[in-house]
């Protein structure tokens, strides 16, 4: 990392010069620009916008850093059926070559194209309006905007409440929402092959939402008491949308909706299993209940034993066990303990995910680490409660999972409950904790996270398990990093290289940190480029729709005093004029933000006192940027720019 530490020194040096010296300021700005656009873009894997000249992210070695983003995007595309399962499998098999052999990406780019034209989110519309990709989407264009696209599409497959109900959704429409609804019904409620086959949600599937509503008593029945001929008039209510996008709401609904005879009783999911080496086979799962209260007089859950499991009553309505297992699988996936398909098929991966989560929680109690324990939902959150949440006898091949307790334990890691604190606070805390308490050097932390090398094994495993799904933590989810402090021991072991195998938890941590750093620096780099182009007098260029040999594109060039010259080619079309006008408009609207960002970041750079520290800097920038955007636009940012006038 000596090269990186030298970059830090150079960065500081140029920033200080800009502050201190008029003459040196401009030359420092040129050098700083190079550091931001090339060195930092490489370090933080920022796909830099092509609208301004000076983009250097097109060489092959730099493109290869985009692999992770391509994988994330492809996973969302197949979940939403923008690409077929077959195309996904082919991609998985060839993903080592996709960046060199572009033809392998053709089906993926077609899927991206379809998604982009269905996306109504303002940031993506603005992206398409401003940087018109032309009639044929290219790999180059997609890669320039990969981080924004992957982030935008992720909300349609997340269950963390980040997808807002649509303003105007019509059942049967082929849209992002129609595909998202079909995906959600497949994941939670695939009781029928027809549902499994559906790419978009149509009127023939309303009966499933009605059934789900009836089972979970969601109270948002889209077609209460409708006769067959009235199904045409049914709509999906905003309440139903909100519930089906929020896993914790679904869990709450499930606990409230189980049959009365087991309400307040101790109940659990159980199954028998056989394990021999790598072979694992589980029998059908069941929901069982005891004639004992869920919470005993001491405030603990009752203890499960083999005898009690065998003697317990079986809930005959198998649908509850099925939905329970799907919700639990989803929660284990969301918390990165499970990396398989959410299909209600309870196999080895699901089984081990439960045991992993249980073991981790128990180890925290054994170490006496009770910090950050969320107690409010437990009558008594003690080691005994944690221990009793999973009863497990390997030799006898039997397990009982207390659903409510397990859900609460997993809530400690990721929850959709509104957290206090600002975006980035928890990320910054865990980085600080890793730096100070865990005695991990800046250099080591940077190396572990930014190089992503130790995550390679995860990508390798993916080609062997094509159904594997990675959970990506939404930018809006503030609880993930708070919960992650619980697994800090594993993170430290990973950073110091003690872990050979990358666990889901660590993978998610690294991905989430990198995503935030990338997001922060992407915004910063964009702002910096506009500002530095202004200060250096470089033109703001809008590429021509049909490039014509050596003829120059439309540009506006500002001088330091904002005197401006516009050049418009004599054969410019109205569409090009409009596109350039939008570019200027976006630049104006974002000006305050840009300047604030650059000034802030330059000051932050000055606080780097030792080699390394890029991760800390990235998270700090992310934290500050999101707070600043919220202040500027008075809303939680879901996209980079807003149509609202700057206050």
Residues that bind another protein in the complex, under the rule CB under 8 A: 18-22, 25, 38, 54, 56, 58-59, 534, 537, 539, 550-552, 556-574, 577-578, 580-581, 584-585, 587-588, 591-592, 595-596, 599
CB 272 within 8 A of CB 397: yes
CB of residue 581 to another protein, shortest distance in Å: 5
Q: How far apart are CA 190 and CA 204, in angstroms?
A: 14
Nearer to another protein, 164 or 568 (CB): 568
Nearer to another protein, 438 or 595 (CB): 595
CB of residue 471 to another protein, shortest distance in Å: 38
CB of residue 588 to another protein, shortest distance in Å: 4
CB 401 within 8 A of CB 389: yes
| 139-151: b (≥16 Cβ within 10 Å) or e | bebbbbbbbbbbb
Nearer to another protein, 23 or 498 (CB): 23
DSSP string spanning 585-634? HHHHHTHHHHHHHHHHHHHHHTT--SS--HHHHHHHHHHHHHHHHHHHHS
Nearer to another protein, 85 or 100 (CB): 100
Residue 174 sits at the vertex; the CA angle it makes with 170 and 180, to the nearest 5 degrees, is 85
CB of residue 373 to another protein, shortest distance in Å: 45
Nearer to another protein, 565 or 635 (CB): 565
Nearer to another protein, 54 or 543 (CB): 54
CB of residue 517 to another protein, shortest distance in Å: 24
Residue pointed to by tokens 């981080």: 147
The set of residues, in sequence order, having a beta carbon less than 8 Å from that of 301 and lying 6+ positions away, is 266, 294, 295, 385, 388, 389, 402, 404, 405
CB of residue 605 to another protein, shortest distance in Å: 14
Token pair recorded at residue 350 = 């699901």
CB of residue 128 to another protein, shortest distance in Å: 20
Q: How far apart are CA 122 and CA 125, in angstroms?
A: 5
Spatial CA neighbour of 582 closest among 55, 48, 49, 51:
51
- Measured in degrees and rounded to the nearest 5, phi and psi for residue 310 equal -65, -35
The set of residues, in sequence order, having a beta carbon less than 8 Å from that of 39 and lying 6+ positions away, is 7
Q: How far apart are CA 209 and CA 181, in angstroms?
A: 10
Nearer to another protein, 58 or 204 (CB): 58
CB of residue 11 to another protein, shortest distance in Å: 18
**Interhelix angle 146-154/504-536, nearest 10 degrees:** 130
Nearer to another protein, 418 or 570 (CB): 570
The set of residues, in sequence order, having a beta carbon less than 8 Å from that of 208 and lying 6+ positions away, is 185, 189, 191, 192, 195
Nearer to another protein, 310 or 551 (CB): 551
CB of residue 570 to another protein, shortest distance in Å: 5
Spatial CA neighbour of 413 closest among 494, 302, 512:
512
């Amino acid at each position: 990392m000596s090269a990186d530490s030298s970059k830090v020194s150079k960065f500081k040096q140029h920033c200080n010069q800009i502050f201190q010296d008029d003459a040196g300021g401009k030359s420092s700005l040129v050098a700083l620009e190079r550091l931001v656009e090339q060195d930092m873009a490489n370090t933080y894997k920022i796909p830099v916008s092509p609208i301004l000249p000076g983009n250097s992210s097109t060489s092959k070695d730099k493109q290869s850093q985009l692999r992770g983003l391509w994988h994330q995007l492809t996973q969302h595309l197949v979940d939403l059926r923008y690409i077929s399962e077959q195309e996904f499998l082919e991609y998985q098999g060839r993903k080592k070559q996709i960046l060199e052999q572009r033809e392998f990406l053709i089906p993926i780019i077609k899927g991206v194209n379809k998604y982009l034209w269905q996306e109504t989110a303002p940031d993506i519309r603005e992206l398409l309006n401003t940087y018109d990709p032309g009639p044929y989407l290219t790999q180059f264009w997609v890669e320039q905007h990969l981080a924004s696209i992957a982030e935008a599409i992720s909300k349609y497959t997340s269950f963390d409440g980040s997808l807002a109900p649509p303003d105007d959704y019509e059942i049967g429409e082929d849209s992002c929402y129609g595909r998202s609804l079909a995906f959600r019904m497949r994941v939670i409620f695939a009781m029928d092959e027809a549902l499994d086959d559906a790419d978009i949600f149509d009127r023939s599937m309303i009966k499933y939402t009605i059934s789900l509503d009836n089972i979970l008593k969601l109270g948002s029945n889209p077609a209460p008491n409708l006769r067959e001929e009235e199904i045409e008039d049914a709509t999906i209510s905003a309440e139903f949308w909100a519930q089906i996008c929020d896993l914790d709401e679904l869990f709450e609904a499930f606990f409230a909706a189980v049959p009365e005879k087991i309400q307040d009783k101790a109940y659990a999911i159980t199954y028998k299993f056989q394990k021999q080496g790598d072979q694992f086979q589980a029998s059908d799962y069941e929901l069982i209940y005891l004639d004992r209260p869920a919470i005993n007089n001491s405030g603990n859950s009752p203890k499960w034993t083999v005898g009690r499991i065998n003697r317990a009553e079986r809930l005959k309505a198998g649908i509850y066990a099925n939905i329970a297992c799907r919700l639990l699988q989803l929660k284990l996936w969301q918390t990165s303990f499970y990396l398989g398909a959410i299909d209600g098929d309870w196999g080895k991966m699901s089984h081990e995910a439960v045991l992993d989560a249980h073991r981790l929680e128990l180890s925290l109690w054994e170490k006496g680490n009770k910090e950050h324990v969320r107690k409010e939902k437990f009558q008594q959150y003690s080691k005994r409660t944690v221990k009793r949440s999973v009863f497990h006898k390997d030799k006898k091949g039997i397990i009982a999972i207390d659903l409510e307790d397990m859900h609460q334990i997993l809530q400690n890691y990721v929850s959709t409950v509104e957290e206090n604190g600002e975006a980035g606070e928890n990320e910054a805390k865990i980085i600080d904790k890793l730096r100070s308490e865990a005695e991990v050097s800046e250099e080591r932390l940077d190396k572990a996270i930014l190089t992503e090398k130790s995550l390679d094994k995860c990508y390798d495993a993916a080609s062997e398990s094509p159904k594997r799904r990675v959970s990506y933590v939404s930018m809006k989810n503030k609880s993930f990093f708070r919960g992650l402090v619980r697994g800090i021991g594993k993170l430290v072991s990973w950073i110091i290289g003690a872990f050979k195998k990358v666990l889901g938890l660590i993978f998610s941590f690294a991905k989430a940190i990198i995503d935030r750093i990338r997001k922060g620096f992407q915004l910063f780099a964009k702002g910096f480029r506009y500002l530095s182009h202004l200060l250096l007098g470089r033109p703001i260029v809008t590429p021509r729709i049909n490039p014509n040999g050596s003829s120059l594109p439309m540009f506006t060039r500002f001088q330091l005093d904002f005197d401006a010259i516009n050049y418009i080619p004599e054969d410019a079309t109205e569409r090009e004029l409009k596109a350039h006008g939008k570019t200027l408009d976006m630049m104006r609207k974002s000006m305050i933000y840009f300047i604030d960002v650059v000034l802030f970041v330059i000051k932050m750079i000055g606080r780097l006192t030792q080699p390394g520290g890029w991760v800390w800097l990235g998270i700090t920038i992310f934290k500050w940027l999101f707070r600043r955007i919220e202040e500027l636009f008075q809303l939680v940012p879901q996209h980079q720019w807003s149509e609202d006038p700057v206050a």
